[in-house]
C-alpha cells in the first residue's frame, strides 16, 4: 500500500537557508534528528470531574531540538558557524521518497571532539526549533 514503505535517511538530504527560500545542501551528513513535539498538559479538574480522577487538556507545544551530525571539513564547519551567527537558520530534511520536514532553528555548532589518531572527525549542528515543524508528504 502506498505510503507504508519504510524509509531511511540514505538517499535523502539535509539543507540550510538563511531566509527560508534559497536552500543549500549540508555536506557529509552522517546523522540527523528531526524534532519531536511535546505538549504541556494542563490540569482542568473541577468539582464536576467524575470519579475523583484528574482531567487534562493539551497546552502549548514545545517543538523540541534539531540536530545534524557531519563528517568534519573546514568548509562544513565554517558554514555551521555562519548558521550559529544568525538569529535563526532554516533547515529542510528530505527523505528519498520526497517527504520533507522544514523548521527554523536557533543553531549552534559543536566543534569536533578529539579521538583516536585514525578516527574521522565529526561535528554537530544543534538547536532549539522555533515554531512548528512543517511536514510535507512526498508525491
Residue 4 lies in a domain: no
Sign of CA dihedral 36, 95, 70, 125: negative
38 membership: H or E segment, kind and range: strand 38-43
Residue 53 lies in a domain: yes
Please give the tally of structural domains in the chain. Answer: 1
Give the HSE-up count for residue 76: Cα atoms under 13 Å, Cβ half-sphere.
22
Question: What's the confidence (pLDDT) of residue 113?
Answer: 80
Residue 81 lies in a domain: yes
Residue 3 lies in a domain: no
Question: What's the confidence (pLDDT) of residue 132?
Answer: 95
Question: What's the confidence (pLDDT) of residue 1?
Answer: 43
Grid cell at residue 122: 565529526
Grid cell at residue 21: 527560500
Indicate which CATH number applies to the domain containing 75: 4.10.410
Residue 2 lies in a domain: no
Residue 8 lies in a domain: no
51 phi/psi in degrees, rounded to 5: 60, 20
Residue 7 lies in a domain: no
Domain with 52, as residue range(s), is 13-136
Chain-centre distance of CA 55, in angstroms? 32
With cell 535563526, the residue in question is 88
Residue 6 lies in a domain: no
Q: Splitting the chain (139 residues) into consecutive groups of 10 residues, what average pLDDT does each group show?
A: 60 94 96 92 92 93 95 96 97 94 97 78 96 92
Other Cβ atoms closer than 10 A to 36: 11
Amino acid at each position: 500500500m502506498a505510503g507504508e514503505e519504510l524509509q531511511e535517511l540514505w538517499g535523502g538530504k539535509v539543507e540550510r537557508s538563511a531566509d527560508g527560500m534559497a536552500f543549500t545542501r549540508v555536506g557529509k551528513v552522517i546523522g540527523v534528528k528531526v524534532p519531536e513535539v511535546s505538549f504541556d498538559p494542563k490540569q482542568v479538574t473541577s468539582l464536576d470531574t467524575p470519579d475523583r480522577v484528574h482531567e487534562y487538556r493539551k497546552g502549548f507545544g514545545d517543538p523540541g531540538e534539531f540536530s545534524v551530525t557531519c563528517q568534519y571539513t573546514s568548509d562544513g564547519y565554517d558554514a555551521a558557524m555562519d548558521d550559529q551567527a544568525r538569529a535563526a537558520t532554516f533547515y529542510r530534511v528530505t527523505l528519498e521518497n520526497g517527504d520533507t520536514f522544514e523548521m527554523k532553528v536557533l543553531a549552534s555548532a559543536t566543534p569536533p571532539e578529539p579521538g583516536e589518531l585514525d578516527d574521522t572527525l565529526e561535528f554537530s549542528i544543534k538547536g532549539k526549533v522555533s515554531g512548528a515543524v512543517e511536514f510535507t508528504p512526498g508525491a
